[in-house]
Amino acid sequence: MQIPFFSSAPMHQPLKVELDAFWQKFYDSNWYVLGPEVEAFEAAYAAFNHTRFCVGVANGLDALHIALKALGIGAGDEVIVPSNTYIASWLGVSQVGAIPVPVEPDPHTWNIDPQRIEAAISTRTRVIMPVHLYGQACEMGPIMELAARYDLAVVEDNAQAHGARWQGKLTGSFGQINGVSFYPTKNLGALGDAGAVTTNDSAFADFAKMYRNYGSRQRYYNETPGLNSRLDAVQAGILRIKLAHLASWNAEREVLANRYLEQLREIEHLRLPTLGTDCTSVWHLFVVLAERRDALQAYLQERGIGTLIHYPLPPHLQEAYLPLGFKRGQFPIAEQIAQKCLSLPLYPGMPVAHLDQVVDAISAFYHS
Ligand SMILES: Cc1ncc(COP(=O)(O)O)c(C=O)c1O
């Protein structure tokens, strides 16, 4: 029997009639990039995220890039990023010419540790970029306080946490301008690449609309060398249909995650995810830290159970960041997570019997 790591089929199957009808309409619409479909999705996602504006872009990396550009971040500026994140958070910073300055995660929540941020602030620091990793909201209170105290901007990387909250407030609505990804495997996923920025500031939203479109507000007149990072109408239409189901999909993820938490509790060879104070998670990924991780992964694979590693090598040790001169051992918490983390299958519509089989197989691995 195969237990896939992820499948979008249980989400897409019930929407087939609606998605097919949209496709027929889209096909004949004669409008394929930006336009009314994109505007309708932007309005719907802004309402979902409790922000005044959402501006659709081509992907999550571009969203971070554009958010930083909107704030005027560039060469020589420093941006505080987590040491434990997907490399895209750092790449957004590098792409505008700024320098990512890593801060270690809390060893329990695996999100950036607010207590460690202050020591990383220098005279060149301009932005703090919290990443709501694996679906869990960062502890935003202390981060926003610190940013206010040092006159720094906040750009949330909300690629993985659509719908997560800190003290009841949604991720993606704290920072001055924030990035979100709708890559197909995200909690809200397109059928291709897609992303957006979210903001309450009309000037930042206007900037993003200009910058995503070659730096042009008026056709064939360009005020800055911008990107081609426009959102496709087909992705916007699909995302708008799927957005109506996001809350119930997130609720399903929570039920599955709680079942894992309950059933894996007794296995002392695993460290389970822990929620920070006042934080919720939308369980984009169910990550455990596992002793003998690689052997466990191979054992599960032999039994048809798909797992993934998010992520095997932290950004500071990637070849891409050799020029920054970081050394192994410099960010030991991130490095430990990279060595031990294993993401277990979890997606809306995953049969509970599959989850129980994953638990049984993990148990058998450690008790054999
Ligand atoms: C934390 C994080 N930031 C940024 C991104 C970039 O998003 P995209 O792949 O849409 O460019 C991703 C997703 O891949 C991500 O997981």
Q: What is the pLDDT of residue 68?
A: 98
Whether the pLDDT of residue 1 is over 90: the answer is no
By the 10 Å C-beta count (0-12 exposed, 13-18 middle, 19+ buried), 91 is classed as middle
Using a pLDDT cut of 90, give the percent of the chain over it: 99
Pocket test residue of 62, 87, 181 for ligand 1, highest count of atoms within 8 A of CB: 181
Centre of ligand 1 from the C-alpha of residue 268, in Å:
32
Q: What is the pLDDT of residue 190?
A: 98
Helix, coil or strand: residue 97: coil
Centre of ligand 1 from the C-alpha of residue 135, in Å:
12
- Short-list 278, 244, 226, CA closest to 114: 278
Q: What is the pLDDT of residue 158?
A: 98
Domains in the chain, CATH or no CATH each: 9-243 (3.40.640.10), 246-367 (3.90.1150.10)
- Distance, in Å, from the CA atom of 24 to the CA atom of 323, rounded to the nearest integer, reads 50
H-helix or E-strand spanning residue 199: strand 195-199
The atom number, within ligand 1, closest to the CA of 131 reads: 1
177-193 per-position pLDDT tens digit: 999 999 999 999 999 99
Centre of ligand 1 from the C-alpha of residue 318, in Å:
16
Q: Ligand 1: residues whose CB is within 6 Å?
A: 59-61, 85-86, 88-89, 131, 157, 159-160, 181, 183, 193, 195
The atom number, within ligand 1, closest to the CA of 64 reads: 4
Centre of ligand 1 from the C-alpha of residue 183, in Å:
7
Whether the pLDDT of residue 8 is over 90: the answer is yes
The pLDDT mean for the chain works out to 98
Pocket test residue of 68, 79, 86, 136 for ligand 1, highest count of atoms within 8 A of CB: 86
The atom number, within ligand 1, closest to the CA of 195 reads: 10
The atom number, within ligand 1, closest to the CA of 89 reads: 3
Average pLDDT over residues 229-242: 98
Q: Whose CA is nearest to atom 4 of ligand 1?
A: 88
Whether the pLDDT of residue 368 is over 90: the answer is no
Strands 169-170 and 165-166: antiparallel
Which tokens go with 229?
């990072």
The atom number, within ligand 1, closest to the CA of 88 reads: 4
Centre of ligand 1 from the C-alpha of residue 160, in Å:
8
Q: What is the pLDDT of residue 52?
A: 98
Whether the pLDDT of residue 257 is over 90: the answer is yes
315-345 per-position pLDDT tens digit: 999 999 999 999 999 999 999 999 999 999 9
Q: What is the pLDDT of residue 136?
A: 98
273-312 per-position pLDDT tens digit: 999 999 999 999 999 999 999 999 999 999 999 999 999 9
Q: What is the pLDDT of residue 164?
A: 98
The pTM assigned to this predicted structure is 0.97
Residue 229: phi, psi to the nearest 5?
-135, 50
Centre of ligand 1 from the C-alpha of residue 39, in Å:
22
Which tokens go with 47?
């309402």
Q: Whose CA is nearest to atom 15 of ligand 1?
A: 159
Centre of ligand 1 from the C-alpha of residue 357, in Å:
30
Average pLDDT over residues 7-25: 97
Pocket test residue of 59, 61, 131 for ligand 1, highest count of atoms within 8 A of CB: 61
Reported as a pLDDT band with limits 50, 70 and 90, residue 247 is very high
Whether the pLDDT of residue 22 is over 90: the answer is yes
Other CB atoms closer than 10 Å to residue 358's CB: what's the count?
Answer: 23
Q: Whose CA is nearest to atom 8 of ligand 1?
A: 60
Q: What is the pLDDT of residue 290?
A: 98
Whether the pLDDT of residue 105 is over 90: the answer is yes
Centre of ligand 1 from the C-alpha of residue 353, in Å:
30
Which tokens go with 292?
């003998």
Whether the pLDDT of residue 203 is over 90: the answer is yes
The atom number, within ligand 1, closest to the CA of 182 reads: 10
Whether the pLDDT of residue 126 is over 90: the answer is yes
Centre of ligand 1 from the C-alpha of residue 133, in Å:
10
Average pLDDT over residues 154-180: 98
- Distance, in Å, from the CA atom of 249 to the CA atom of 132, rounded to the nearest integer, reads 18
Centre of ligand 1 from the C-alpha of residue 317, in Å:
18
